Amino acid sequence: MVFALAIFVSGTPERIPVKVPESLMIKDTLPVLYPTHTHSLYTQPARPPFLGTCVIAFREALAFKESRGDYFVTNTLGYLGKYQFGIGTLRLMGVHNPANFLKSPELQERVFEINLARNKWILRRDIPRFVGKKINGVLVTESGILAAAHLAGAGNVKRYLRSNGSRDVADAYGTTITHYLKRFRGYDTSSIPPRRNPKVL
Per-residue pLDDT at 38 = 42
**Distances from the Cα of 155 to the Cαs of 11, 16, 89, in angstroms?**
77, 69, 13
CA distance 30 to 13: 35
pTM: 0.73
User: Per-residue pLDDT tens for 122-155?
Assistant: 999 999 999 999 999 999 999 999 999 999 999 9
Query: Is residue 124 within 8 Å of 194, Cβ to Cβ?
Result: yes
Long-range contacts formed by 173-177: CB under 8 A, 24+ apart:
175/151, 177/148, 177/151, 177/152
The more confident residue out of 159 and 2 is 159
Split at pLDDT 50, 70, 90, the class of 14 is low
Query: Is residue 41 within 8 Å of 58, Cβ to Cβ?
Result: no
CA distance 119 to 89: 11
pLDDT at 23 over 60: no
**Section 44-48 average pLDDT:** 48
- Average per-residue pLDDT in the chain? 83
**Residue 181, H or E segment:** helix 177-183
Residue 41: Cβ within 10 Å count: 16
User: Per-residue pLDDT tens for 91-106?
Assistant: 999 999 999 999 999 9
**Section 167-172 average pLDDT:** 91
Which amino acid type is present at position 158? K
Split at pLDDT 50, 70, 90, the class of 36 is very low
Reading phi first (left if > 0) and then psi (alpha if -120 to 50, else beta), residue 116 is in: alpha
Per-residue pLDDT at 53 = 79
Q: Where are the beta strands (DSSP E) in 58-167?
A: 134-135, 138-139
Query: Is residue 148 within 8 Å of 181, Cβ to Cβ?
Result: yes
Per-residue pLDDT at 201 = 74
